[in-house]
Amino acid sequence: MIRLKQLRGSGVRYTLPYVLPFSGLWLVVTIIAMVVFGVTCWLAASTSPRLDDAARTRLALVLVAQTLFLIAAVFALAIFTTNRLAGPYIAIIRAFEAVKNGDLDRPLRFRSSDIHLRDVEISFQEMIAALRVRLEPQGGVPVATGEPALGSAGTAVDLPS
């Protein structure tokens, strides 16, 4: 059975930890600007002599609802933007982990809309192909991927030359 972590596009939940590092400042500045705009609109409009108490209450409710809706929209946009930004980063991390575990058959693939990363994808595939060639024994039979041939992190590995 396929594990959920191996599925591409398996959900936004993997990118949620990246929302603050990737979109945090933008998110905070936008929310502060919306709250300041709502408060200043309230202060400017509530002093009008044309408004009675009922109109002021309705105005306050409309401004609060509008501000909350905009904050929710900004959060949704931040999550979407972070997913677009962190998606390639997560794909690279997963590909590196696969290589670390000895799986040289798992390709690195980015979304077709990430055309600016096509060179990284090609370079990674070329690196894996070169690594496969270097790890092949003299008989031409590929190394079994059941046991990692790369060693663990921080351990030097002797590669045939």
| pTM over cut 0.85 | no
Domain assignment present for residue 39? The answer is yes
Q: Is residue 140 one of the residues assigned to a domain?
A: no
Indicate if the pLDDT at residue 1 is higher than 70: no
Task: Say whether pLDDT at 153 is over 60.
Answer: no
> What integer pLDDT is reported at residue 12 of this predicted model?
66
Count of the separate structural domains present in the chain: 1
In a domain? residue 123: yes
% of the chain at pLDDT higher than 90: 25
Does a structural domain hold residue 71? yes
**105: Cα within 13 Å, side-chain hemisphere:** 6
Taking only Cα atoms into account, the Rg of the chain, rounded to an integer number of angstroms, comes to: 26
The rounded distance, in Å, linking the Cα atoms of 150 and 5 is: 23
**More confidently predicted of 111 and 144:** 111
Q: Please give the residue range of the domain that contains residue 80.
A: 11-135
Confidence of residue 3 (pLDDT cuts 50, 70, 90): low
Backbone angles phi, psi at 85, to 5 degrees: -80, -40
Pair 42, 60: CB distance under 8 Å: yes
Query: 110, 117 in Cβ contact below 8 A?
Result: yes
- Between CA 2 and CA 20 the distance in angstroms is 30
> What HEC string does 106-134 produce?
CCCCCCCCCHHHHHHHHHHHHHHHHHHHH
Query: Residues of the chain with pLDDT > 70: what percent?
Result: 76
* Assigned domain for 18 exists: yes
Angle in degrees, 0-180, between the axes of helices 19-46 and 53-100, rounded to the nearest 10:
170
Q: CB–CB of 102/148 below 8 Å?
A: yes
Q: What is the pLDDT of residues 42-81, one digit of tens each?
A: 898 888 888 888 998 999 999 999 999 999 999 888 888 8
Single-letter amino acid, residue 87: G
State residue 89's pLDDT score: 85
Does residue 9 surpass a pLDDT of 90? Answer: no
Closest Cα partner for 27 from 65, 95, 79, 100?
79
Three-state SS string across 2-49, please? Answer: CCHHHCCCCCHHHCHHHHHHHHHHHHHHHHHHHHHHHHHHHHHHHCCC
For the stretch 123-132, pLDDT in tens is: 999 999 998 8
Look at residue 156 and tell me if it is in a domain.
no
> pLDDT value at position 66?
93
> How much is the mean pLDDT over the chain?
79
Instruction: Dump pLDDT digits (tens) for 23-44.
Output: 888 889 999 999 999 999 989 8
Whole-number Å distance between alpha carbons of 19 and 43: 33
